[in-house]
Structure 1
Amino acid sequence: MRTIRIIEHISLDGVIQGPGGPEEDPTNGFAHGGWAFLHHDVPGGEAIDNAQGAGFDLLLGRKTYDIFAGHWPHQSGPMADSLNAARKYVVTHRPETLDWGPVEALDADLAAGIRTVKAGNGADLIVWGSSTITPLLVAAGLADEVVLLVFPVFIGHGKRFFSEAVDPTELVLVDSKATQSGVTIGTYRPAGRMRTGSFAEVSA
């Protein structure tokens, strides 16, 4: 059984779109790309390295795959080497256009395809971006960990980490730290449906 770990750059108001640069993902007129760059520092990079581990595979939506495929093959260094070498499992209706390998297209039944990959032997599966599949992973009980790098910015609009169509979910914090640039890094494990209560029930 493989571990699925979601890693996200996320704003204080939940936006995950285009953290790396102005042209990364301008979908729907998003004009704030690059919001994570000025807050990136060495501790943040180390947190990402630790979350990914020494060897991993990637589980990506098609948009994130295309963004990565246009960037990482042209880079050098440990991060580029790791991403380029990883096997990519990609959610796509156009498997014939997957040129950045090693790569494998997932079955049309997305949840079943991910379960099959997860059930096999191999490295941890890392999910970056991919706003269309992260809610599915949590809702279907397929995500084992969620690592959120929360940046000290409000953006207002853009693709968000979670979907309004998914049931409210509770998570357990298992590790947290903060960087000098103001980024907080939290590692969570999904813990099922969100519980509710009332302060009116608390005795004085």
Structure 2
Amino acid sequence: MRKIRIIEHISLDGVIQAPGGPDEDRDGDYSHGGWAVPHADPAIGEAIDAAYGESFDLLLGRHTYDIFAGYWPNQRGPMADSLNAAKKFVATHRPESLEWGPVNDLGSDIVKGIRRVKLKDGPDLVVWGSSTLTRVLLEEGLADEVPLLVFPVLLGTGKRFFSDSGAPRELALIITKAASSGVLMNTYRAVGPLRTGTFSELEE
């Protein structure tokens, strides 16, 4: 079984919408696009490369797929080559309009489709953006690793990584590094349901 790895640029208050530019995602009249750019650092690129690994497939929501499809085929370089060559698995109700390939849709039952793809032999599956899809993966316990690039900004509004409706879960920090720009590069591993306790237990 291959792993599912969710990579996100995230603000301190949990927003993941449009980190890369003003027009990346204007859903909801979002006006803060490009908030990650002032904190760019070579260490961030190295962390992203490490999170992707040498070989990967992409697992994407339809909106992120369309953003990527309009950008990466026109780019050159190792990252562009890797993304363009990767097999894409997309959550969509319009499979007939998928043109950036190689590509497969996940079918009408998204969770069932993800489980089917995860069980197949192949490289690990990488998720980027795709705020709706990430919530499904977390709520269904399908995410194995979560590399988060935590930026020192508070955005207030925007699409969020964490859902208010999901079951509480626990993650374990397995890698952490800091970029000189103040970005924390944390990688978490899924552990299971949330544990609770009281401080009085620690005093016994």
TM score, norm. by length of structure 1: 0.98
Q: Is residue 185 from structure 1 mapped to residue 185 from structure 2 by the alignment?
A: yes
**Could you tell me how far apart the structure 1 residues matched to 2:82 and 2:4 are?**
17
Specify the alignment match of 2:15 in structure 1: 15
List per-residue Cα deviations over 1:98-150 (Å, max 9, x = no partner).
Answer: 11111001111111100000000011100001111112112212111000000
Q: Match of 2:169, as an amino acid? A: T
List per-residue Cα deviations over 1:23-42 (Å, max 9, x = no partner).
Answer: 00000010000000111111
Aligned positions of 1:119-158 closer than 5 A: 119-158=119-158
Structure 1 residues without counterparts, runs of 5 or longer: none
Q: C-alpha displacement at 1:201, in angstroms? A: 3.3
List per-residue Cα deviations over 1:49-84 (Å, max 9, x = no partner).
Answer: 000011111000001001111111111101111100
Specify the alignment match of 1:198 in structure 2: 198
3-state SS of 2:99 partner: coil
Aligned positions of 1:37-56 closer than 5 A: 37-56=37-56
Q: C-alpha displacement at 1:193, in angstroms? A: 1.2
Specify the alignment match of 1:174 in structure 2: 174
**Could you tell me how far apart the structure 2 residues matched to 1:29 and 1:77 are?**
32
Structure 1 segments of 4+ aligned residues over 6 angstroms from their partners: none
Q: C-alpha displacement at 1:172, in angstroms? A: 0.4
Q: C-alpha displacement at 1:198, in angstroms? A: 1.4
**Could you tell me how far apart the structure 2 residues matched to 1:203 and 1:163 are?**
33
- Aligned residue pairs total 204
**Could you tell me how far apart the structure 1 residues matched to 2:173 and 2:34 are?**
27
Structure 2 residues without counterparts, runs of 5 or longer: none
**Could you tell me how far apart the structure 1 residues matched to 2:101 and 2:58 are?**
11
Q: C-alpha displacement at 1:88, in angstroms? A: 0.5
Q: Match of 2:174, as an amino acid? A: V
3-state SS of 2:48 partner: helix
Specify the alignment match of 1:24 in structure 2: 24
C-alpha RMSD of the superposition: 0.9
Q: Match of 1:29, as an amino acid? A: D
Q: Match of 1:180, as an amino acid? A: S
Specify the alignment match of 2:109 in structure 1: 109
**Could you tell me how far apart the structure 2 residues matched to 1:17 and 1:124 are?**
24
Identity between Structure 1 and Structure 2 (%)? 64
TM score, norm. by length of structure 2: 0.98
Q: Is residue 162 from structure 1 mapped to residue 166 from structure 2 by the alignment?
A: no
Structure 1, 50-59 or 192-201: larger mean CA deviation: 192-201
**Could you tell me how far apart the structure 2 residues matched to 1:107 and 1:12 are?**
34
